[in-house]
Amino acid sequence: MNPLAQLSGVDDLEVVRRSVVAADGNTFVLVQRDDSRFVLVLGDSSGFEGEDHGPSGGRLCPLTPSTLARLRRRLPWLQPVPLGLRTSFGFGDRLGLATPGHIQSIRHTRGGTDRIAPVFAQQSVRENSRTGRTPRQVMDDAAWAVFEHGWRDPWGADADHLKVPDDVSDFADAGFTFFTIDPGDHVDDDVDGTHLEAKVHDLPWGSLEDSLDDLERRFLSSPFDLEGTAVPFDRASLWGAAAKYGRAVDHTAQMYHHIAATMADRPFELEVSVDETDTPTSVSEHIYIASELRRLGVRWASLAPRFVGRFEKGVDYIGDLEEFSQQFALHAAVARQMGPYKLSLHSGSDKFSIYPIASRLTNRKSRSPGPLVHVKTAGTSFLEALRAVARVDPELFRSVLAVSRARYERDRVTYHVSADLSRVPRPENLDDAGLEDLFEQFDAREVLHVTFGSILDRYGDRIRATLVRNEQAYADVLTSHFTKHLADFAQ
């Protein structure tokens, strides 16, 4: 039976038709009365807290965590799941309002719903501390949007850039299924000096369940066969890889086993991220990382090397595309041979020049559909939020720009960015028509991107209220932006 046909006696309510769903003889639908939203439960409403709605015979339930928890038990697609080796795309949402636009962008991308698995809930500990949000809020904001917009396909939830075991439990309790380990603090980029031998001997061999002799026996006895091409290790390259990444491998293994114990019998997947380091990850170093993690019993779905060139926030790739293509092809070969697992592009937003390269070199049409790739974005959705604000409330955006300019030099410290503040116009020098032009300008994008915490501290409530009043305008700018991101990966 068409669930819409069951909606009688709701003339006093505004029905969000795309949310209507029937399950086990019950109907659930998002409705609005005056300025308040509810879930209307028709049928068995046991366990749902709310008020009886006489005309329909249902129950009106407020949009609370308790209501969502009950819905999840009835509607399993409201829960994120591990996405495995499907081509995937991480949509960061610093405001909790972007998921409708993210859903719309996938639906507007030809082949998007079939070929790309979305990560709708994605936030790092660093981002949560700057936005004042909790893992539970991040998860629930995404799940409510999934319900409202009728998304039924699998989706993921990424606890991003976890650095210490204490970071894990809040994300696990909130239902996250994708954990990104960031061992960057344990990577030693200075391995070319005279202290290399000492650094190798000082590695935590006991924790690594290894010895230097055994390490050399594994790697130096014969070349590594990379899809028919021999990649030889000598002592210098092996010691360099071990000195640079040995402690990071040890930390990653400890984090993985902690996550596994925390999750108990709940399914999850892992990403390993070594992208936030000063020097690129060579192919031999990638082989070392993957080999040693596998030896220590770690299982992962994706890995983010530090690629050549610069992956700065909110702007296109900076570097030699031919060099990137050559190196990326080798990393893709390692991921196929040592896994298979996906290569992950961190700070992946707006890197339009490399999307065709990444898609082509990780594509596996002969084996299963789609590229072996994960793209991770965060701040670009926030930039699109500010674009929407500039469009509907120019004076609020001018205030935002003033705060961003004032805070840039302090807030940029934890990011790899190179914007020159002197090239970002002062707000009083811009007319309304010129405000959106800032979002096409390199320096302005980076300045606005990395100062999001300061912006939200000062104007967060006004920005959110503006976007709620202009929900479709925000969804539309996100759709326009992300369909350009997704097109190359949905081929």
User: Could you give the count of Cα atoms lying within 13 Å of 372 in the half-sphere of its Cβ?
Assistant: 26
Query: What residues form DSSP beta bridges with 31?
Result: 15, 38
Rounded CA gap, 182 and 275, in Å? Answer: 8
Q: Are 29 and 39 in contact (CB under 8 A)?
A: yes
Q: Is 160 a catalytic residue?
A: yes
Active site residue: 93, 158, 160, 285, which one? 160
Q: Where are the alpha helices (DSSP H) in 177-231?
A: 196-201, 212-220
Question: CA torsion sign, 351 to 353 to 359 to 362?
Answer: negative
- Say how many residues make up the chain: 491
Q: If we measure between CA atoms, which residue out of 393, 190, 184 comes closest to residue 277?
A: 184
Q: Are 418 and 481 in contact (CB under 8 A)?
A: no
Active site residue: 271, 276, 312, 443, which one? 271
DSSP 345-397: ETT-TT-TTTHHHHHHHHB-TTTSSSBSEEEEE-HHHHHHHHHHHHHH-HHHH
* Phi and psi at residue 42, to the nearest 5°: -110, 120
Q: Are 490 and 116 in contact (CB under 8 A)?
A: yes
Beta strands 14-15 and 26-33 are: antiparallel
Q: Are 276 and 187 in contact (CB under 8 A)?
A: no
Task: Show the CA angle centred on residue 251, arms to residues 249 and 252, nearest 5°.
Answer: 65
Count the Cβ atoms, other than its own, within 10 Å of residue 456. Answer: 21
For residue 97, the Cα-to-chain-centroid distance in whole angstroms is: 15
Rounded CA gap, 171 and 139, in Å? Answer: 9
User: Could you give the count of Cα atoms lying within 13 Å of 474 in the half-sphere of its Cβ?
Assistant: 27
C-alpha radius of gyration, the chain, whole number: 24
Q: Are 103 and 151 in contact (CB under 8 A)?
A: yes
| Residues forming the active site | 160, 271
